[in-house]
């Protein structure tokens, strides 16, 4: 039996599967608890397989350095927007027709072209969509750029390099149609009207409404 720090070899996995009655790697009782949290990746309604996922974030720090002073000051301006970089891929599935028990699975088809076109459409659609990652959960994002690679020597296979940015929320507009804007306008009108009445009808007639 391999030690906890040694990767299982193919024969050892087969023995484990046979002993435990497992039919897939997700069912192996090998102590790899994280496998139960694996989710199929998707963006919007388009699904894809994942090779690598990178999440980039942190704090927006403005570093201040002062003359004649050794100690700097790192000013925290808030969290940096999250950026997710994914290398995904699509590949043909060998079984077809009645032999394919996953006939309704978009990723297990004899042609990957429909899945490819669906992902391209999702990546180019305006607005934010939900990104489901295998282990990092869900995040509402927009796709800032992507690149698809198809090679002649790797027929039936394509790679997507995708960059997503956290959508977040739009800032307050501060227009006069906002609650604060309407309240301010009402208070200003009330003050001006009261002043006009106090100073006589002539002043009140000069009020801009």
> Which H or E element spans position 130?
strand 129-132
Q: Can you give the residue ranges of every domain in the chain?
A: 39-166
Nearest to 89 by CA among 164, 175, 156, 22: 156
- pLDDT score at 82: 93
Q: What pTM did the predictor assign?
A: 0.64
- pLDDT score at 186: 75
- pLDDT score at 61: 93
Res. 54 pLDDT band, cuts 50 70 90 = very high
Contact 35, 25 (CB under 8 A): yes
Q: How far apart are CA 147 and CA 17, in angstroms?
A: 38
- pLDDT score at 96: 60
Q: At residue 173, does pLDDT exceed 90?
A: no
Question: What CATH class does 39-166 carry?
Answer: mainly beta
Q: What is the pLDDT of residues 73-102, one digit of tens each?
A: 999 999 999 999 999 999 988 766 556 567
- pLDDT score at 200: 62
Q: How far apart are CA 32 and CA 20, in angstroms?
A: 14
Average pLDDT, the chain: 79
Higher-confidence residue of 116 and 184: namely: 116
């Amino acid at each position: 039996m391999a030690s906890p720090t040694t990767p299982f070899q193919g024969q050892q996995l087969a023995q484990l599967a046979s002993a435990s009655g497992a039919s897939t790697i997700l069912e192996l009782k090998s102590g790899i608890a994280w496998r139960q949290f694996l989710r199929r990746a998707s963006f919007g309604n388009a699904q894809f397989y994942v090779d690598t996922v990178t999440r980039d974030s942190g704090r927006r720090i403005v570093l201040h350095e002062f003359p004649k002073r050794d100690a700097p000051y790192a000013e925290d301006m808030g969290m940096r927007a999250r950026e997710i970089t994914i290398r995904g891929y699509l590949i043909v599935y060998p079984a077809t027709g009645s032999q394919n028990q996953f006939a309704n699975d978009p990723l297990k088809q004899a042609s990957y072209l429909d899945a490819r076109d669906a992902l391209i459409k999702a990546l180019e659609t305006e607005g934010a969509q939900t990104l489901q990652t295998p282990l990092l959960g869900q995040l509402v994002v927009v796709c800032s750029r992507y690149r698809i690679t198809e090679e002649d020597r790797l027929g039936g296979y394509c790679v997507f390099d995708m960059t997503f940015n956290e959508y977040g929320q739009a800032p307050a507009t501060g227009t006069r149609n906002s609650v604060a804007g309407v309240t301010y306008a009402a208070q200003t009108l009330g003050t001006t009207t009261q002043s006009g009445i106090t100073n006589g009808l002539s002043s009140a007639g000069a009020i801009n409404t």
